[in-house]
Amino acid sequence: MASGFFALLDDIAVLMDDVAVMTKVASKKTAGLLADDLAVNAERASGFVSSRELPVLWKITKGSFLNKLIILPVAFLLSAYLPAAIVPILLVGGMYLAFEGAEKIYHYLFHREHTKQVVDLTKLSKAEVIKREGKKIKSAIIVDFILSVEIVIIALGSVIDEPIKIQIIVVTVIAILATIGVYGLVALLVRMDDLGYKLIAVSDNKASASKSIGTALVKSLPVLIRILAVVGTIAMILVAGGIYVHNIHIVHDLVHSLPGILGEFIVGLVVGIVCLLIFKTVKKIFNSKKE
């Protein structure tokens, strides 16, 4: 009886050790995508009335958990009964990531003059504010769904050769940590300027440390979001390139002599440019027929 109990504890210890190792591996695989997720959501969670930022972010976070509640069972069923579908889904997801990255670079290079129109929220009615919030929340949850699919599939792809029980634990942990980590950091980011304004307000001395820190926080937020956007774009291209390099032998052979990061970036950029050209060509043809 006692020996059976200790054997069970030993099995649990071995399982947890395997889970810890594979979780670390899966975390490295999804780190780039999480950087993009953070950048995208930091941008989408900003632009609200200060008192509404955290409630709106909480709604998006709940939507993110619901997304993963839908995605995870489907991913595990695919892994158990149709594992051959994982790589094709990864490749399609890689196309999407590469396309998004290439499109961001394209807009930065050729459409920088098209700035977003700033909306004065104080001039909107309560109904208009609620409607605007609803649209942004819906848009953010849809984007989160797409990124969540990629995070789950990439994490699953990194443990696809492991037993299903380890797959379930590792991928679920990654999915939960992704939501908590990303939206926790987003919450800190969107409130950074408010903390800065409070420090400035309580400062009596113009040259005080609290005012200097507050001013630095207010000024650094837009810069930090822009940096995250750049990092996220590069990360998307790298993740997309890595998917193709590690899953298509011909592509791997073409870039194997290059440093890993450079090869993955080149492949991701090429895939993104091709997808962008196809998208723009199809869109142009569709618009011409519509006219």
- Cβ of 213: how many Cβ atoms within 10 Å? 15
Taking a C-beta distance cutoff of 8 angstroms, is the pair 65, 177 a contact? no
Segment 71-114, tens digit of pLDDT: 999 888 888 888 888 788 878 888 888 898 898 889 888 876 55
Residue 128, both tokens: 């208009």
End-to-end CA distance of the chain, in Å? 80
Q: Where are the domains of the chain?
A: 2-290
pLDDT tier at 204 (50, 70, 90 boundaries)?
A: low
- Cβ of 138: how many Cβ atoms within 10 Å? 13
187 three-class SS: helix
Segment 133-162, tens digit of pLDDT: 777 788 778 777 877 887 888 778 777 777
Query: Can you tell me the distance from the alpha carbon of 164 to that of 171, in angstroms, rounded to the nearest whole number?
Result: 10
162: left (phi over 0), alpha (psi -120 to 50) or beta: beta
Rounded to an integer, the average pLDDT of 196-225 is 74
pLDDT tier at 277 (50, 70, 90 boundaries)?
A: very high
Model-wide pTM > 0.85:
no
Query: Can you tell me the distance from the alpha carbon of 271 to that of 93, in angstroms, rounded to the nearest whole number?
Result: 12
